[in-house]
């Protein structure tokens, strides 16, 4: 236990928490995982992170990084390890408008970066419901996605450089601002998505883009999912690739939304099987400057395109946001997904990705399979349809582990057959270790273990996460 006094000497008593003071860090926001850490360390800068990690290594104590604690897979769970919070590494070191980059520390909250970029007429295009608490270190460690992946890519695509504290306390400076660098292995991308198993991200160079001058947002009722994909492609062609979000809310989602959040309201008086939230964004003044009659060209473009699609029978109904309040109401329906999902337990949730033209196939195939495994089970689906990422949740009534495993295995069977992935944007953590054992290429797993062993030979960085042991069940 001599580690605790040493940490207090390094960081100060107020920044080494023990006992009940660790509770808010040790429990995930869903309440699924609640550990008992040895302590929570709250370093204020990269040097203190490095010294903290070195002390823990000298004492043989595992280190588990925690940022905004908005994860869903148990990646910050520990029994007896040292939780290292990045919350005090919260400086935006620099925003460089000319090169459109932000140099930020790992504890910067996503919405804080949004606000800071906006003051320069720029935008950090990573957007999801937990943006008010998720931190840069966490979104990098899980390669988070969100609603704008269709246009801008996941977090990995938005990162130019990293600063990382390695398991032995050394500081790895990969803080490149370059868009091209072919000088050997791409080490940066080893740490993005590694969930703290290889080191602790302390800072990053993130890309910014011009802030949209106008949005055009609509909620659509579409004839079918295949028609929705045709709609997406038609919109992309008509707008020159300005579709920023394309979100799918089917009938099961809308029913649950009305039951749990009646205050939000429904988009159409008559329910539809396929509801789409679409948003365009433009930075060109020609599309964003209101005409003398007050209409915005981007909204006119969306409206005229939708009119053509309605004539073709692809779109059954449409509501276009005419104000900021109406746009916010449309997004509130989509961003209620976490609240809707967590309102009923037990819940079996999945975070899967399939090719865009296979989304309907997955849903068609999983329905009869579930009927045999969990008769009467309810389901709720919501999807980032533009990138093929589905959040498919099952409410079986039966909380048994056996049923959980059978449902997850059935989902994985179909996803694998369609060439998809069992993990799209939430990470692996603890909850998907069995999926990794069953579905990940064995050679890929061996290579991951080799990399882990080379960088973290003592196995002290977030142990037991992401990579299943060799003897894990298949």
pLDDT confidence of residue 406: 96
325 and 425 fall within a common domain: no
Structural domain includes residue 464? no
Structural domain includes residue 185? yes
113 and 204 fall within a common domain: yes
205 and 224 fall within a common domain: no
Structural domain includes residue 474? no
393 and 312 fall within a common domain: no
Give me the number of domains the chain comprises: 4
pLDDT confidence of residue 154: 97
Structural domain includes residue 466? no
pLDDT mean for each 10 residues of the chain (474 residues):
93 98 93 94 98 98 96 95 98 98 98 98 96 97 96 98 98 97 96 98 98 97 95 96 97 93 91 96 96 94 95 95 95 93 89 97 97 95 97 94 96 98 97 96 97 98 96 62
355 and 419 fall within a common domain: yes
Cα(169)–Cα(154) distance, integer angstroms? 29
End-to-end Cα spacing for the chain: 38
Q: Which of 337, 363, 397 finishes a domain?
A: 337
129 and 102 fall within a common domain: yes
Q: What is the CATH number of the domain that holds 329?
A: 3.30.70.2190
Q: Which of 210, 229, 256 finishes a domain?
A: 210
List the one residue out of 340, 334, 335 whose CA is nearest residue 393. Answer: 340
Q: What is the CATH number of the domain that holds 404?
A: 3.30.70.2740
Structural domain includes residue 17? yes
Cα(414)–Cα(393) distance, integer angstroms? 15
Whether a cis peptide bond, with omega within 30° of 0, leads into 352 is no
42 and 60 fall within a common domain: yes
pLDDT confidence of residue 378: 94
81 and 126 fall within a common domain: no
pLDDT confidence of residue 472: 65
178 and 225 fall within a common domain: no
Per the rule left: phi > 0, alpha: psi between -120 and 50, beta: everything else, 430 is alpha
250 and 292 fall within a common domain: yes
Structural domain includes residue 451? no
Q: What is the CATH number of the domain that holds 67?
A: 3.30.43.10
What is the span of the domain harbouring residue 44?
3-85
Q: Is the model's pTM score more than 0.85?
A: yes
Q: Which of 337, 352, 387 finishes a domain?
A: 337
68 and 154 fall within a common domain: no
**SS3 letters across the chain:** CCHHHHHHHHHCHHHEECHHHHHHHHECCCCCCECECCEEECCCCHHHHHHHHHHHHHHCCCEEEECCCCCCCCCCCCECCEEEECCCCCCEEEEECCCCEEEEECCCEHHHHHHHHHCCCEECCCCCHHHHCCEHHHHHHHCCCCCCHHHHCCHHHHEEEEEEECCCCCEEEECCCCCCCCCCCCCHHHHCCCCCCCCEEEEEEEECEECCCEEEEEEEEECCHHHHHHHHHHHHHHHCCCEEEEEEEEHHHHHHHHHHCCCCCCCCCCCCCEEEEEEEEECCHHHHCCCCCCCCHHHHHHHHHHHHHHHCCCEEEEEECCCHHHHHHHHHHHHCHHHHHHCCCCCEEEEEECCHHHHHHHHHHHHHHHHHHCCCCEEEEEEEHHHCEEEEEEECCCCCHHHHHHHHHHHHHHHHHCCCECECCCCCCCCCHHHHHHHCCHHHHHHHHHHHHHHCCCCCECCCCCCCCCCCCC
Q: What is the CATH number of the domain that holds 196?
A: 3.30.465.10
Structural domain includes residue 463? no
pLDDT confidence of residue 343: 85
List the one residue out of 342, 385, 405 whose CA is nearest residue 145. Answer: 385
Structural domain includes residue 24? yes
202 and 222 fall within a common domain: no
Cα(6)–Cα(9) distance, integer angstroms? 5
């Amino acid at each position: 236990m001599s580690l605790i006094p040493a940490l207090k000497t390094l960081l100060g008593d107020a920044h080494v928490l023990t006992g009940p003071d660790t509770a808010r860090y040790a429990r995930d926001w869903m309440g699924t995982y609640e550990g008992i850490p040895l302590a929570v360390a709250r370093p204020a800068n990269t040097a203190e992170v490095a010294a903290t990690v070195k002390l823990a290594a000298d004492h043989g104590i595992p280190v588990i990084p925690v940022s905004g604690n908005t994860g869903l897979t148990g990646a910050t769970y520990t029994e007896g390890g040292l939780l290292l919070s990045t919350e005090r590494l919260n400086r935006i070191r620099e925003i460089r408008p000319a090169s459109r980059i932000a140099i930020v520390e790992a504890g910067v909250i996503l919405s804080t970066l949004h606000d800071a970029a906006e003051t320069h007429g720029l935008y950090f295009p990573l957007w999801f419901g937990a943006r008010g608490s998720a931190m840069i270190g966490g979104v990098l460690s899980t390669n988070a996605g969100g609603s704008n992946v269709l246009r801008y890519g996941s977090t990995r695509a938005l990162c130019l450089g990293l600063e990382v504290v390695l398991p032995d306390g050394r500081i790895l400076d990969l803080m490149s601002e370059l868009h091209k660098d072919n000088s050997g292995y791409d080490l940066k991308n080893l740490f993005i998505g590694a969930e703290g198993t290889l080191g602790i991200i302390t800072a990053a160079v993130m890309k910014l883009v011009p802030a949209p001058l106008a949005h055009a947002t609509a909620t659509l009722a579409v004839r079918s999912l295949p028609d929705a994909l045709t709609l997406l492609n038609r919109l992309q062609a008509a707008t020159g690739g300005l579709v920023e979000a394309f979100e799918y809310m089917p009938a099961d989602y809308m029913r649950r939304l009305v039951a749990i959040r009646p205050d939000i309201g429904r988009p159409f008086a008559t329910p539809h099987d396929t509801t789409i939230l679409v948003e365009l964004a433009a930075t060109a003044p020609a599309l964003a400057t209101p005409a003398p009659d007050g209409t915005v060209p981007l909204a006119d473009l969306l409206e005229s395109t939708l009119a053509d699609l309605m004539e073709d029978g692809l779109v059954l109904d449409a509501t276009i946001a005419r104000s900021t309040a109406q746009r916010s109401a449309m997004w509130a329906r989509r961003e209620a997904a976490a609240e809707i999902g967590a309102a009923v337990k037990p819940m079996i949730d999945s975070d899967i990705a399939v090719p865009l033209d296979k989304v309907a196939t997955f849903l068609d195939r999983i329905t009869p399979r579930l009927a045999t495994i969990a008769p009467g089970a309810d389901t709720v689906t919501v999807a980032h349809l533009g990138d093929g990422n589905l959040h498919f949740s099952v409410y079986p009534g039966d909380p048994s582990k056996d049923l959980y495993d059978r449902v997850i295995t059935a989902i994985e069977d179909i996803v694998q057959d369609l060439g998809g992935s069992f993990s799209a944007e939430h990470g692996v953590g603890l909850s998907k270790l069995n999926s990794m054992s069953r579905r990940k290429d064995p050679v890929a797993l061996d290579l991951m273990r080799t990399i882990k062993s080379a960088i973290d030979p003592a196995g002290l960085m977030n142990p037991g996460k992401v990579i299943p042991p060799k003897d894990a069940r298949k």
